[in-house]
Amino acid sequence: FCLSLKLEEKAKGKLQKRICQVVLDHFEKQYRAELGHAWSSVRDVLTSPWCWQHAVLLNRFSQNPGLESSLAEQGYHPAFPAALPYLPAAFRCYTRTAPGRFPAQKHQPGRLKEYYLLNAASLLPVLALEVKDGEDVLDLCAAPGGKSVAILQCACPGNFHCNEYDDLRSRWLEQTIESFIPDTLINLITVSKLDGREIGDLQPEFYDKVLVDAPCSNDRSWLFSADPQQAVLRLMQRKELSSLQFQLLRSAVKALRPGGSLVYSTCTLSKAENSDVINLMLNSCRNVMPVDISEMARGVSQEFSFLSGMQQHELLVLPEEGRAWGPMYVAKLKKVSST
């Protein structure tokens, strides 16, 4: 027992040393002001990777009869209750309260993976989008591909456009799709490397559903920036992200058909990149209205911790010990008429 305790303390010490102090100091100032007393417990989780949890999203296109019983033996349980307003039968995800990671599967050309490991909160934007069979769907900022894979666990779109502007991340996206989706469905999927800000003009009113999982100041990864100089540069560029996010949102609205809906998400706690971007969109576009997602939030409240005081069309998942999911901001909008 003493040896395992020493090893744990040693591991914690190594992880602690990797925390980038300049980023933590910046977050400390900003998030204490924005989150109040909630920030202390969130900070404790974000700075303690040994308490992070991982969900296991099963791949409905790859059958492994023993997988679910194996997960159950290791303390995993179904993550989402049947009371949710949207939960397709084929969508199966498992979580457990204990930290740790289920073994990852390596990419093997020609062989489908059986599951995808991810932060369970990243599935909430997909459930909020409510994709149905035959709909035309755009994942505007799709890499590394987890949400694209999750969408295809829910339904078979008529056309599914997965876009990623960054060349390296686009190749990652293509590999993810190859790892999880059978050849018979690949012809439904278009992978592109377009500037997301231009898609609305290139394909106006073409899609029924659009997911904008926007580039953001990823709080978890930024805290462990290996290069302090890069961290300082990131923090300087942080102010420009909300402008990019708004432009991506505006493009997404243009790409939507009247009556279509979009979900905007980030993995940051930052109000400037979350509520402020959505409020700017609602105030500047008369043909867009908010969509209430509070029923979904109530349905998953046992699994996730949310920031109180949010509007009904948005939610913010706060990591806490035992429910170390997030950060994840989700907001839903609907296009009511042509531009």
For 240-281, write each residue's pLDDT tens digit: 999 999 999 999 999 999 999 999 999 999 999 999 999 999
pLDDT of residue 17: 53
Percent of the chain with pLDDT over 70: 95
**Which pLDDT band holds residue 294 (cuts at 50, 70, 90)?**
very high
* 3-state SS class at 72: helix
pLDDT of residue 107: 87
CA dihedral 104, 107, 111, 112 (to 10 degrees): 50
- The two structure tokens encoding residue 164: 């990623």
Binding residues for S-adenosyl-L-methionine: 141-147, 164, 195, 213
CB contact at 8 A, 281 and 249: yes
Domain boundaries, the chain: 24-335
With left for phi above 0 and alpha for psi between -120 and 50, is residue 13 left, alpha or beta? Answer: alpha
- The answer on pLDDT for 339 being more than 90 is no
Percent of the chain with pLDDT over 90: 86
Binding residues: 141-147, 164, 195, 213
- The answer on pLDDT for 9 being more than 50 is no
**Distance between CA atoms of 146 and 135, rounded to whole angstroms?**
19
Range in 97-101, 144-148, 158-162, 309-313 with the lowest mean pLDDT? 97-101
pLDDT of residue 10: 45
* 3-state SS class at 337: coil
- The answer on pLDDT for 1 being more than 50 is no
* CATH architecture assigned to 24-335: 3-Layer(aba) Sandwich (3.40)
**Which pLDDT band holds residue 108 (cuts at 50, 70, 90)?**
confident
Span 176-209, pLDDT tens digits: 999 999 999 988 899 999 999 999 999 999 999 9
CA angle 44, 49, 55 (to 5 degrees): 110
Q: Which helix (H) or strand (E) holds 77?
A: strand 77-78
- The answer on pLDDT for 3 being more than 60 is no
CA angle 5, 8, 12 (to 5 degrees): 140
Q: Which helix (H) or strand (E) holds 208?
A: strand 207-213
Catalytic residue chosen out of the listed positions 2, 93, 267, 285: 267
Our answer to whether residue 216 is catalytic in this structure is no
pLDDT of residue 122: 98
* 3-state SS class at 173: helix
Residue 80, classified by CB atoms within 10 Å of its CB into exposed (0-12), middle (13-18) or buried (19+), is buried
* 3-state SS class at 138: strand
**Distance between CA atoms of 20 and 25, rounded to whole angstroms?**
9
Query: Can you state the angle between helices 38-46 and 21-35, rounded to 10 degrees?
Result: 150
User: What are φ and ψ of residue 130, in 5° steps?
Assistant: 55, 55
Span 316-332, pLDDT tens digits: 999 999 999 999 999 99
- The two structure tokens encoding residue 100: 């740790």
Q: Which helix (H) or strand (E) holds 316?
A: strand 314-317
| Mean of all residue pLDDT scores within the chain | 93
Span 205-218, pLDDT tens digits: 999 999 999 999 99
Position 218, amino acid: N
CB contact at 8 A, 137 and 208: yes
Q: Tell me the three-class secondary structure of 266-320, residue by residue.
A: ECCCCHHHCHHHHHHHHHHCCCEEECCCHHHHHHCCCCCCECCCCCCCEEEECCE
pTM, entire model: 0.94
How do 115-118 and 93-95 pair as beta strands? unpaired
